[in-house]
Structure 1
Amino acid sequence: MSRSQQDPLKDFLVDLFGSDKPHARTNQAGESAIRPYMAWAPFAVIATTLVFLAPRLLELAEQFSTPQVDGAVSAVSAVHEYRWPLAALTLGLLACDMARFLTHRHRAGLDAQIRQSTRHTPVKITVGYPPGITTLRSATITLSRGAIIRPKELGEFTTAVRASASRRTSKWTYTVVHDAQRDRIRITRTLIQPDLRSPRHKALANSLRDGPLKEPAVSVAALDGDVETAFKITFTPTLSSGARGFQKKVDEALAALAGEHESGRTWATDWFPSEGYLLMSLRAPLPTRVDHPLELVDENLRHLPYATAASEVNMFWDISTKSNKPHCLIVGPTGGGKTSVIRTLLTEASRRGIPFLGVDPKMIELDGLEGYPGCAAIVYDAVRSAMLVRALHSEMMARNHYVHVKKIEPSQLPLLIAVLDEFFILSGKWQRLAKTGDDETRDLLKELDPLGAWADLAVLARSAGIRLLLGVQRPDASLFGGASGNARDNFGTRISLGNLSQDGAMMLWGDSQIGREIDTSVPGRGVALGNDGVPVDAQMWWTPNVDPHPNKWNQLSTSEKKIIDGLRPQQEPHIAFYSTELRHFVESERSVATAARAYGRAPEPTVLGHHDDTPTADAGGDFADAIPASAVTEGMTVLVDDGHGNEQPATVAAVTVIRDKDSGAVTETTLTFHGAGRVKNHITYGPHEVVLLPEPDTTAPAT
């Protein structure tokens, strides 16, 4: 008979009176613990019925008057007086039979389930009293001595018990525990509490159940009324849970599962892998614009704030002597906001009494800071920039000597910030002058060795109180890695604006995905190294051009003029020189700048078809972009010297990069070009040399 053709009445009778088939009582393992069920109440029901019918029976008995009948009638009459106590006893027996029947039914079901799932015959099955009407309350199954139950078998038995109960009710859940020492299985039930979790809570819990975290559990950590604002997710710590790449993937998945919050805030996570939990909480979204605040947002005068991260956290550059990130590196394309960040940092330094000087090979990025309180000098010429770098090197050595002789702490030295904007362009300018300049210029650059002096500054300037602020359009490991004495590692404060390439993200952040999906439609949006050493998205502060020249000043709005006036310090920071080289250079540079402002002029533009005999402007104003020689790839077009002092475009046929075996730093790069016929030309570049690109950088300057 199929399952659909089962006879319910037959099943009930089998449960009530048992079965006479052998397999219902015994199997290969021995005799079953279940005995046939025998009801007691039917006999009491018959007797009680006869007692209640005694008057009718007496009427019938009067028709047959015999001594035997008269004795039976008198006995029935005597019992009839106790009919109600007898009825109560019968009802008690019925209740007892019902309890025995339910117990028998539960025991029979457990017996069948334990046999089929574990292949063991239970010695005894005890059902807790009172037994459940539809579902089992509790039970203890005693097994034979030394019975072995595998985890898979116990799981199958648990599934069978829960499935049997779920067919009758969904209010209870069962727990099955195997007590191997006592050779028994204990079954208990607990009431299923109604699931009052929100859809967001359920989505997180269900997704993490089979997710990457081990044994996750989600709980609400904070509420705003009836809306969850934070979740605590506990898990068992593993090796993966401590990896930042793993944490980032989990963060992205959790934010997507949680969805957009009603408040408009975004989800962010804080990991505590050693303690086995993470906090997922709401934070205010990044603002789309933050004007440079006029009040000092950080009381520590050695913290230079420049951006706002999530939850209105201020990002700052720690330039104190004890800082582990003393130098700052800003990476960003032209127009990406790099100049505004530099202005923010320098104006913050000025009103904290910290002087600065800088190099601007484009002549348009930092010119507004010339003459600003605390500005020692802004250098535009490439040769004088090399002289400045060498003078800074002398200043560093003089400061270290002063500390050594006077036996003072380096923290007692006054701070000085040196800015080198567009470092690749400056390096390319030095390289071109070293090859094509006049004899005096070539000899001077060889003597100054600005790249070597720069490498020493990046490594040693920290203890001398000199802080470096470097601006580049793209990061490159050959200039900031081993080839420059691990200089990149000294730039603990790093900022990237715009979207980085995969290689650039790996070089700058150690992660190929960070900084590659920035919303470039928001000016000033980028990634900064957080105060805890973790890169975070941030909104850079907007600082207008501080140039007081009327042509610049009149273009500013009233609010921007208010920002500039509020930032300008009333007392100009003092500049202390420990070397005569830097003092003489600054004095001469200020004299040159004063003369240039007094007598310098630029020719007016001409219109096609008109002629003007006025000498044209120096064509050197448009600098070709430059990249490290080791970053050149096959098929790229670069500028090479034709042997007559002229730069001509040529296509690279092959690139050979030689690296140090121990450090992996670039020691030499050879570029191969096709010549006439089958002849190939080879040009070798040093570890610091750059290659000029044929396209000049004519993009509009950053504001």
Structure 2
Amino acid sequence: MSGTPDPLKDWLVAAWRDTFGDTTTARGGRVGDDGRTSRVPRFVPVSPFAAVPAAAAFTSSHLIASAAGNQTPIDVLTQLHDHRWPLTVVTAPLIGLDISRHRARRWSQMLESMVQQSTGHTPTKISVPLPMSGRTMRRATITLPRGAVIRPKQFEQFSRAVESAFDTELWAMTVRHDAHRDRLVLARTAIAPDTRSERQKVLQDALDAASIFKSPKVSVDTIDDSGIETGYRIAFAKSMNAGAPAFQAKVDEALASLAGPHESGRHWTCDWYPNKGYLVMRLVTAMPDRVDHPLELVDENLRHLPYATGAADRIMFWDVSTSSNKPHCLIVGPTGGGKTSVIRTLLTEAARRGIPFVGVDPKMIELDGLEGYPGCGAIIYDALRAAMFVRALHTEMMARNAYIHQMKIEGSQLPLMIAVLDEFFILSGKWQRLAKTGDDETKAQLKELDPLGAWADLAVLARSAGIRLLLGVQRPDASLFGGASGNARDNFGTRISLGNLSQDGALMMWGDSTVGREVDTSVKGRGIALGDDGNPVDAQMWWTPNVDKHPNKWNQLSESEKAIIDGLVPAEAPQFTCYSPELAEFIESERALAKRARSHGSVPEPIVIGAGRGDDAAVSMVKEERESAPEREADDDFADAIPASSVTAGQTVLVDDSGGELVPVTVDDVEVRRNKKGEVISTVLIVGTGRVKTRITFDATGVVALPDPDSVGAHA
């Protein structure tokens, strides 16, 4: 029956071993349950030496009755009874001491087992001093065999085991290896209460789990007057990713989503400092849906022309100073996107700062309200006159450079002027059409003026001469700003895009195919602008009404819009200073032509079909009016124009027929030739149906006109 297990016996043996220890070895150690040698001594309680007499003292009356007739036990029990309270007082602390000693022995056993399992060494001694709390010890010293080696991974494994076994909500156990003394030292430290906000905890936990940064640390950066956290500083180890704009944009979006909506209604944004190893996440005011052109001078620097409000009430401006590395401005935006309002904002800001301007408006409806405005030299509508202006401006640039050279002065000492070319594709298309379909005198004049060549020189060289270019186009294209134009696009450091760009347009404007493609077009004037730090940011363009005070325009404005216009008018009109007689003569002649046109010019009145006259008579009257209209150009009704290299197969464009008229044709195929740098050399449009195909060749700067939808149907 010896093989039959006895549960009660097994339990008693286990309890005895757990309480008092195992069999002692010959060298003073003992053998544990796992077969390893243990240096933890057996537990010998001391409290029974006081507890047993104390118990006998309290039960002495019963024991004396049992020991009747035996005087010696009766005397001993009587003495114990007399000292029962002192014995009780002595027993209580001895019991507490035994409990602490037993707990210390249990901690020693655990530590010994951890050391053996993680390092393979058996400690020669483990000291756990008293007192200690119920769940953790205050300190422990583990003495290892002389010369014991603990590798980093072994030490890390042991530290994790200690942390798992002894750390509590209030205390943390740290481990130190004193290799020179062959010992491990454990010390208990109090854990400071976690006073972090829920938002800070979420950010820290998410960054720890994501592993996008090495050793991230989230701390509070700013707090408002109400004690609400409004900014966080996130420190991280420096890395290559931290400097990549695409990586920063993704992290910005993720952090804003984790932080969630703020109590103030403001939005989160991040300022990156990758060279210093941290970023600052802060609150900014939500982008406004509309910003009226402020009447006060927002920027006291008279060479900064503000035009928009970015995130965090950041003011966007065009730096036109001579030292600026962004001397010229490019505005890209579709019809109705707010491009004209931005141009008006920049020009009225220039006028109030004493900077004059001249404008070219081939559509005749965008800048006409600025004609006669203080500081406006002229607004040019005719394509041939615009070519003459570009050449005169080129002459002015050369004269200014010669003056600087002769007088030995700095370019910053010359007065500034701004030249505006709106709808540049349409203007370029008109120049090219006049060079093909104009009379011999016009062709010869355009060839001599070479406006596109003069334009390319201006874009590259005008900065040092105090001439600033403001260019407005409906879409960007490399063929117009590429190699044939002297890489003029690179000189337009100040860039603004309105509406949503195509992938190629975003890459061309911002160097990133994702920027400017998700603009909220439901908000008029919303777009992307280049910040003073060189990074594109969301911006709300200022609203500047049409400054034309003609009754037909003025009476349509609200009182607040009229107040804006009146408040922007400078007290003193800026004056032109021309260094070449060509530009001075051109501006004077253009003003005289404009004055004569306002005094003697006329346009035919509209004819209402079916208003009491026959259709034939109405059509005849319209023809008579058109024939009698002075100096009316057949190509003044361009809806839009694009570079020939941007045309796609299946698109309808306007081309000249044998009679010089613009007719719509559908492009069957497009062939674009490029050089090794990827710049357009020439473009061939293949049109026609069946076997009859026509190849129309354009040079690098070739532009084609786009028809109105109605005109396509009419020719069909």
TM-score norm. by structure 1 comes to 0.90
Q: Tell me what 1:670 maps to.
A: 683
Change (3 A) 1:478 1:128: farther
Q: Tell me what 2:625 maps to.
A: 615
**DSSP 3-state at the match of 1:458:** helix
Change (3 A) 1:418 1:161: same
The worse-fitting range, judged by mean Cα deviation, of 29-38 and 49-58 is 49-58
| 2:20 counterpart of 1:17 | yes
Q: Residue 357 of structure 1: CA displacement?
A: 0.2
Q: Tell me what 1:219 maps to.
A: 219
Structure 2 matches for 1:77-92, cutoff 5 A? 85-92=86-93
1:626 to 641, 657, 672: 641
Q: Tell me what 1:174 maps to.
A: 173
Q: Residue 349 of structure 1: CA displacement?
A: 1.0
Distance 2:59 2:709 in 1: 121
Distance 1:338 1:362 in 2: 14
| 2:702 counterpart of 1:692 | no
Distance 1:182 1:697 in 2: 95
- Write the letter of the residue equivalent to 2:635: G
Change (3 A) 1:121 1:249: same
Structure 2 matches for 1:41-52, cutoff 5 A? 41-50=47-56
Q: Tell me what 1:204 maps to.
A: 203
Residues 401-432 of structure 1: CA distance to partner in whole angstroms, max 9, x if unpaired? 01111111111111110000001111111111
Q: Residue 103 of structure 1: CA displacement?
A: 0.7
* Structure 1 contact 633–655 (Cα < 8 Å) conserved: no
Q: Tell me what 1:271 maps to.
A: 272
Q: Tell me what 1:401 maps to.
A: 402
Distance 2:412 2:681 in 1: 39
**DSSP 3-state at the match of 2:420:** strand
* Structure 1 contact 306–315 (Cα < 8 Å) conserved: yes
* Structure 1 contact 363–380 (Cα < 8 Å) conserved: yes
Distance 1:261 1:50 in 2: 72
Residues 594-626 of structure 1: CA distance to partner in whole angstroms, max 9, x if unpaired? 111112111122233333153226443320422
**DSSP 3-state at the match of 2:275:** helix
Residues 178-232 of structure 1: CA distance to partner in whole angstroms, max 9, x if unpaired? 4445443333333344433332222211111123122111122222323211112
- Write the letter of the residue equivalent to 2:636: G
* Structure 2 contact 667–688 (Cα < 8 Å) conserved: no
Unpaired segments of 5 or more residues in structure 1? 699-703
The worse-fitting range, judged by mean Cα deviation, of 383-392 and 298-307 is 298-307
- Write the letter of the residue equivalent to 1:673: I
1:657 to 660, 664, 673: 673
Distance 2:51 2:44 in 1: 15
The worse-fitting range, judged by mean Cα deviation, of 401-410 and 295-304 is 295-304
- Write the letter of the residue equivalent to 1:46: V
* Structure 2 contact 53–80 (Cα < 8 Å) conserved: no
Distance 2:134 2:17 in 1: 18
Residues 489-519 of structure 1: CA distance to partner in whole angstroms, max 9, x if unpaired? 2111111111112221121112222222222
Q: Residue 151 of structure 1: CA displacement?
A: 4.6
* Structure 2 contact 271–279 (Cα < 8 Å) conserved: yes
* Structure 1 contact 99–130 (Cα < 8 Å) conserved: yes
Residues 164-186 of structure 1: CA distance to partner in whole angstroms, max 9, x if unpaired? 346xx543333334444544333
* Structure 1 contact 673–680 (Cα < 8 Å) conserved: yes
Structure 2 matches for 1:62-101, cutoff 5 A? 63-64=69-70, 85-101=86-102
Q: Tell me what 2:601 maps to.
A: 600
Unpaired segments of 5 or more residues in structure 2? 1-7, 610-614, 712-716
* Structure 2 contact 143–184 (Cα < 8 Å) conserved: yes
Of the two structures, which has the highest relative contact order with CA contacts closer than 8 Å and spacing of 6 or more? 1
- Write the letter of the residue equivalent to 2:671: V
The worse-fitting range, judged by mean Cα deviation, of 523-532 and 25-34 is 25-34
Distance 1:144 1:605 in 2: 109
Q: Residue 588 of structure 1: CA displacement?
A: 1.4
**DSSP 3-state at the match of 2:625:** coil
**DSSP 3-state at the match of 1:105:** helix
* Structure 2 contact 672–680 (Cα < 8 Å) conserved: no
Q: CA RMSD in A?
A: 2.9
Q: Residue 642 of structure 1: CA displacement?
A: 4.4
Q: Residue 102 of structure 1: CA displacement?
A: 0.7
The worse-fitting range, judged by mean Cα deviation, of 604-613 and 506-515 is 604-613
Residues 35-86 of structure 1: CA distance to partner in whole angstroms, max 9, x if unpaired? 332223224433444566667766766624xxxx65x766776777666555
- Write the letter of the residue equivalent to 1:33: R
1:36 to 26, 42, 46: 42
- Write the letter of the residue equivalent to 2:48: P
Distance 1:234 1:598 in 2: 69
Distance 2:294 2:67 in 1: 116
TM-score norm. by structure 2 comes to 0.88
* Structure 2 contact 430–635 (Cα < 8 Å) conserved: no
Q: Residue 682 of structure 1: CA displacement?
A: 3.9
